[in-house]
A and B are shown apart, each in its own frame.
Chain A
Amino acid sequence: MLRARFLIPLVVFAVMVVFLGVGLNLDPREVPSPLIDKPAPAFELPQLEAADKTFSQKDMLGKVWMLNVWASWCVSCREEHPHLVAFARTGAVPIYGLNYKDERAAGIAWLARFGNPYQLSAYDHQGQVGIDYGVYGVPETYLIDKAGVIRYKRIGIVTPEVIRDKILPLVKELNGNG
């Protein structure tokens, strides 16, 4: 015991390295959402491109779908957008947009410029639906199952890795079980 004493600082150091290593690899922006496994909050919003039509989460009952929160003022959305456009082309899961605290004309122009991966976008000018969905860092993405329950939430950019490792397997699972 006494002989192993010189090992104590080494052990303390190793424990610290492990803790700091884990701590550094955690993303403090990724706050666990309380909405996982809860029904998607209800909303009914005008559509971005057709102000006279509305879109509600109820319209999607019976389908697995993805809700992506975006805005023309959101810089990270530009980075994310090509991945979404490519993902939409595969047709794996229908993607709907929530245009968050944006101006209608700016949103439409943005889609015209960068491409439109969305079946349609709901126009949340006031940001009330965003608050109901706990949005705090656009872009955010939700995967909602056939029963209208949120099964996955991604805060920040949806990368090809996220699509491959998280979204696609879950989409398959959700479609298979229904």
Chain B
Amino acid sequence: MGKLLALLLGLVLAGTALAREAPTVAADPVLEKRVMALAEELRCLVCQNQTIADSHADLAIDLKNQIREKLKAGMNEAQIKDYMVARYGDFVLYRPQVKATTVPLWFGPFALLLVAVAGLFYYIVRRRHAAPAQTLSEEEQAKVRALLDAPEERT
């Protein structure tokens, strides 16, 4: 019984695994690996938060076919990325190139962090200087002593 259940479970899992696999056209597994590696770097513009490797949108499938054909034709990865950027802009790349227009994107967060740390540092240093050690006057000390020594009040 247990064996049968395991077999059934195995079959069901195998079925879903097959269903999830994007249809592959190229029979060549090496080429297909390169296609998928590149597809993972490219954003699907129809569904925006998916790579074209993950996406089943028509355009993503077309673009995967484009990548496959271009690789077959002997283009390298960088050339294909340029091809995509020329059509869809930097947005298509999940890791945009570092250039004038993408500098804020790459270094903005670090700049913000730097500003925040500098601000914090300045604040701490100023606070330390601004708060001199406070001493109590004779009168105040007597008051403190009286309060501390007084028998505890019960309410």
Residues of A within 8 A of B (CB): 28-29, 31-35, 101, 127, 131-134, 136-137
What residue in chain B is nearest A136 (Cβ atoms)? B45
12 additional A-B pairs beyond A31-B89, A35-B87, A127-B59, beta carbons within 8 Å, are A31-B45, A31-B88, A31-B91, A33-B89, A34-B89, A34-B90, A131-B62, A131-B66, A131-B87, A133-B87, A134-B87, A137-B46
Chain A residue at minimum C-beta to C-beta distance from B130? A2
Does B85 belong to the interface (CB within 8 Å)?
A: yes
* Cβ distance B32 to chain A, nearest Cβ, rounded Å: 21
How many chain B residues have a CB neighbour from A under 8 Å? 15
Q: Is B58 part of the binding interface, using a Cβ–Cβ cutoff of 8 Å? A: yes
Q: Which of A32, A34, A35, A132 has most B Cβ within 10 Å?
A: A34
> What's the dominant secondary structure at chain B's contact region?
helix
Residues of B within 8 A of A136 (CB): 45-46, 59, 88
Across the interface, which residues of A come within 8 angstroms of B63, CB to CB? 131
Interface residues of B in 84-100 (CB under 8 A from A): 85-91
Bound together, the chains give a CA A131 to CA B58 distance in angstroms of 12
Residue contact B89 to A132, C-beta cutoff 8 Å: no
* Interface-central residue, A28, A32, A133, A136, by most chain B CB under 10 Å: A136
Shortest distance in angstroms between B96's beta carbon and chain A's nearest beta carbon?
Answer: 12
Type the 1/0 row for B67-103, where 1 means its CB is closer than 8 Å to any CB of A: 0000000000000000001111111000000000000
Segment 49-72 of B: residues with Cβ below 8 Å from A = 58-59, 62-63, 66
Chain B residue numbers with a CB within 8 Å of A132 are: 87
Is the Cβ of B87 less than 8 Å from the Cβ of A127? no
Shortest Cβ distance from residue B56 to the other chain A in the assembled complex, whole angstroms? 15
